[in-house]
Structure 1
Amino acid sequence: MRTLLLLAAVASLGVPAPDLQPGVDAIHALGLPGAQARLVTEDGRHEVATSGFGDLATGRPVPPDGHFRVASTGKAFVATVALQLVGEGRLRLDDPVERWLPGVVRGNGNDGRRITVRHLLQHTSGIHDDFPDYTTEADFQRHRYDVYTPAQLVARAVAHRPDFKPGRGWGYSSTGYLLVDMIIERVTGRSWWTEVEHRVVRPLGLTGTSWPGLSPLVPRPHARGYQVFETGRQVDVTEQVVVDPEAAITSTTRDLNTFFRALLGGRLLRPAQLAAMTRTVPVDPGLAEILPGARYGLGLFQRTLPCGGVYWGHPGGGAGYVTDSGVTADGRRSVVLSVNGVLGNAPEDFIRQQHAADELVEGALCGAGGAETTRPQQG
């Protein structure tokens, strides 16, 4: 049922790590199937804690370094590649979408000539999101292996009028990041995942991170992923084709810690591009209720630490898994949490689950050693 591993990479004279076990136990106690978390301290020590079940049918526990779908946490990978291309002079943040994808964003008030790459990365494009979303168990079972092309998904979005004029509001849009994927492919002549793999995964040695393409499977070992539909019970949704490309990325808590530490530590982006990534705008009031105090940069959320300063990361939820992450502004202390299910579909369910995750993440980052107190950049 529960596991606690403390892996010392340095002598015990280093900064002590807080105990993650109460946090993952509290998340499981809410009624969620299971959870795993990994903290990496300033001196490189790892603490891993798990709680609950990796398989509700067999009672198998959550594996301590199991694979999971990262969901929207994958946007941080895509944004990193886009900003690397900016640093190389091959792409500009102020390039209009029309320059790279002529005629793709057009109709019903949508205009790719007025939407920039920056708008897409910062969720300020106004492009409506209309990815398939199954609210009943029968719908999920019927459509779990459906495949959509990027063109089909963009067409669904531009069939709606924009939610607001570009740059005049904030609205989470996975379609916007799908367009960034397409722009990366147009700029480089290679698939977006090939670029992520070449520029991020291989250089950082992220051996537990992969992209399944159209495969419905999650690499082993893994906790099975669950979703709550209209019946209120946890339904096993592990096996499915994930429509949102970067949401299908699978990883581990070890790899995501390595990625976020490298990103905020300046190992993946030049200073100008990292500064652009961490220049933030307010999120919409609805999301702010779930993520209090959140602001958004380019592929990263900024949150305020109760012990002072800010932290960065990108949550993700869907396809049976919910991911939360946090790294201090200097990239030296980080934590990643994966939960293999959700409480329900009501707003209060999301808020309860997110607030429990926040307590674990913020408690880990505010442990001995404190937090980086760099003043946040605001756009």
Structure 2
Amino acid sequence: MNTSVLAAKGPRRTYPLLTGLRRRLARPAAVTAALALASALLTGTAAAAPAAATAGQDRPDLRQAIQEIVDDGLLGVQVRVHDERGDWAGSAGARKLGSAAAPPVNGRYWIGSTTKTFTATLVLQLVAEGRVGLDSPVAGYLPELGLDPRITVRMLLRHNSGLFNYTGEYYPDGTVVPGIPGTGKEWLDHRFTSYHPEELVRLALSKPARFEPGTNWSYSNTNYTLALLLVEKVTGHSYAEEMRRRILRPLGLTGTLVPGDQSRLPGPHAHGYLRYQDGDQWRVVDVSRQNLSMLAGAGDMISTTKDVQTFFTALLRGRLLPAALVAEMYRDPDPRSESLYGRYGLGMYVLDTGPDCAGVVLDHNGSPPAGYGSLMYSTPDGSRTLTASLTMGDAAIDLGTVFPKALDRLVKAVFCDKR
């Protein structure tokens, strides 16, 4: 995909990777909301790790990068890369605490807010069909919710609506307005609770908006749960059914699903853990099972590194949307959203890795409330991709340091290696 649509909007700016990562952690509300809530408490393990399991050609640079992530304290990592040297997949660390086995190379995992790119694609398919207007008021499609008529479909996908984030809001002055519990013991005690999408949206609408529609940027899960309701209202079918019909089946994504109330990861998978404080004691619990209906349309999907790679490549190469709408997803990203992931467009971030690397890279990472992290990166033409799953263990680590370090390592290894 040509990146000239970015250049046409002004000079290209380079974001030094590690500096950007640190800046990102200073703005937790800009991370996937679940990761923002969890960043102070999620922890990994520094247990001895077995040698990385790999598939494809030997890539010592990538094997070293993922082993260093485990050495820094995460329990496990699965990584898949496609570039001019071919395909490579590998894993390092442990599949679960107390096990000597490495994580499965293509195991299933909770992809968190990587789900948002899937949801944005569904909405934009309806735009391509003329059934939804990108700049039309959302209230026109969902009048029963009493939405501000100034909020457009574009504002949902771009996080410009100003709607309260139902998983909680974190303001620059340190003020916190709580929402649905998203971390620690409070989340743990309710991790199997089921939520209906409309229930989540009505909770958000009962709180004051963060700003007037279109006047600012703030990452809010509410936007994408509303997008789910929009898909269901316009099509007359469930979000899960439309996802299967429009994306999963056409692309053969057999490892991907919209789980609804399903709490188990089906098939081979690595285990993720939450280390949390209970009174004056620290405890560790396996959170591989969790009900993510609390993030409907915004962070609830299950997938594999292979399926996420296939999806993102197909999207960027025009198999799911017309080229003009694909370009619209990363054209003119909002400068107010600048973070370690880049700047936000429509369902994806736009990161400029600079002239010494691959230049513009598109991404959307994610995390459920605990245990897992998901990475999804690609050049705009889909020729170089990185997808990964990270799992947390039982060691007391500073995720605010370890996560950006791991991210920087992988992005540099894949997008800054010119050999």
Normalised by the length of structure 2, the TM-score is 0.78
Cα 1:133–1:29, aligned 2, differ >3 Å: closer, same or farther?
farther
- Amino acid corresponding to residue 121 of structure 1 in structure 2: L
For residue 311 of structure 1, give the secondary structure of its aligned residue in structure 2.
strand
2:154 to 111, 114, 118: 118
CA contact 1:260–1:327 (8 Å) conserved in 2:
yes
Which amino acid in the other structure matches residue 114 of structure 1? R
Q: Give the alignment of 1:78-117 within 5 angstroms.
A: 78-106=119-147, 111=148, 113-117=149-153
One-letter amino acid matched to 1:38: R
* 1:37-186 alignment runs, 5 A limit: 37-42=79-84, 45-106=86-147, 111=148, 113-131=149-167, 132-137=180-185, 139-186=186-233
Listed as ranges, the gaps of 5+ residues in structure 1 are 9-15, 370-379
Contact 1:226 1:234 (C-alpha < 8 Å) held by counterparts:
yes
Task: Give the partner amino acid of 1:202.
Answer: R
State the secondary structure of the residue aligned to 2:94.
Answer: strand
Name the SS of the counterpart of 1:339 in structure 2. strand
- Who is 1:11 aligned against? none
**1:334 — aligned with what?**
385
Residue type at the aligned position of 1:238 = S
1:23 to 2:71 alignment? no
CA distance in 1, matches of 2:358, 2:307: 27
Q: Which residue of 1 aligns with 2:255?
A: 208
Residue aligning to 1:32: 74
Instruction: Tell me the number of residue pairs that the alignment of Structure 1 and Structure 2 aligns.
Output: 350
Q: 2:289 aligns with which of 225, 239, 256?
A: 239
Contact 2:80/2:386 (CA < 8 Å) preserved in 1?
Answer: yes
Q: CA distance change for structure 1 residues 99 and 46 in 2, over 3 Å: closer, same or farther?
A: same
Large movers: runs of 4+ above 6 Å: 342-346
> Which of structures 1 and 2 has the larger relative contact order (alpha carbons within 8 angstroms, sep 6+)?
2
Structure 2 gap ranges (5+): 1-49, 168-179
Match of 1:262 in 2: 314
CA distance in 1, matches of 2:237, 2:184: 37
Q: Structure 1 pair 54/17, CA: closer, same or farther in 2 (3 Å)? A: closer
Deviation at 1:103, TM superposition (A): 3.5
- For the residue of structure 2 that corresponds to 1:76, the secondary structure is helix
Matches within 5 A, 1:276-355: 276-282=328-334, 284=336, 288=339, 291=340, 294-306=342-354, 307-319=357-369, 320-341=371-392, 349-355=399-405
Report the alpha carbon displacement of residue 308 of structure 1 after superposing the two structures with TM: 4.5
Question: Structure 1 pair 92/266, CA: closer, same or farther in 2 (3 Å)?
Answer: same
- Per-residue deviation, 1:301: 0.7
- 2:51 aligned with 1:2: yes
* Amino acid in the other structure paired with 2:213: P
Structure-1 separation of matches of 2:287 and 2:358: 39
1:251 aligns with 2:303: yes
State the Cα distance separating 1:6 from its structure 2 match.
3.8
Distance, in Å, in 2 between the alignment partners of 1:267 and 1:3 is: 33
Instruction: Please list the CA deviations of residues 269-312 of structure 1 after superposition, one character each: whole Å capped at 9, or x if unmatched.
Output: 10221121112333657x72xx16x1111101111224141101
Q: How has the CA–CA distance of structure 1 residues 345 and 60 changed in structure 2, closer, same or farther, with 3 Å as cutoff?
A: closer
**Is this contact kept in 2: 1:63–1:221, CA < 8 A?**
yes
TM-score by length of structure 1 reads: 0.86
Note the aligned Cα RMSD (angstroms): 2.3
Q: CA deviation at 1:90?
A: 0.8
Structure 1 Cα separation of the partners of residues 72 and 311 of structure 2: 29
Structure 1 distance, partners of 2:362, 2:60, is: 19
Q: What SS class does the counterpart of residue 95 from structure 2 fall into?
A: strand
Per-residue Cα deviation, 1:161-185 (whole angstroms, up to 9, x for no partner): 1111111111001111000000001
Residue 56 of structure 2 aligns with an amino acid whose one-letter code is L
User: How far 1:71 sits from its partner (Å)?
Assistant: 0.5
Report if the CA contact (8 A) 1:53-1:60 is conserved.
yes
Counterpart AA for 1:362: K
The aligned amino acid for 1:355 is K
Instruction: For residue 33 of structure 1, report the CA deviation from its aligned partner.
Output: 1.0
